[in-house]
Amino acid sequence: LTRLRLRLPGDAAGVVVLDVGEGVEGLRPGDLITAVNNSAVTSPSDVATQVKAASKAGRKNALVQVRRGETTAFLTIPVDVG
């Protein structure tokens, strides 16, 4: 997927969601994950690291900051899905 197709500005940084696993509500393909647990992410491995950290800390969910078009939102995702 291209930035143009997703309508992302050239300076947008994060991880584009291509597919959403079962049990994850709120995320959509094309969303741009910009942070997990208040830590900026720029690669899928950054997302995985933050989700694993939440799990190790005993949390059931990870806080995800998502950019969708011109809107930014916070969602929670279950850490066992990450």
Question: Residue 20, exposed/middle/buried by CB under 10 A (0-12, 13-18, 19+)?
Answer: middle
Share of the chain above pLDDT 90, in %: 48
Q: Which helix (H) or strand (E) holds 37?
A: none
For residue 47, pLDDT beyond 90: yes
Query: Is the full-model pTM beyond 0.85?
Result: no
- Of 1-10, 27-36, 72-81, the least confident: 1-10
For residue 40, pLDDT beyond 60: yes
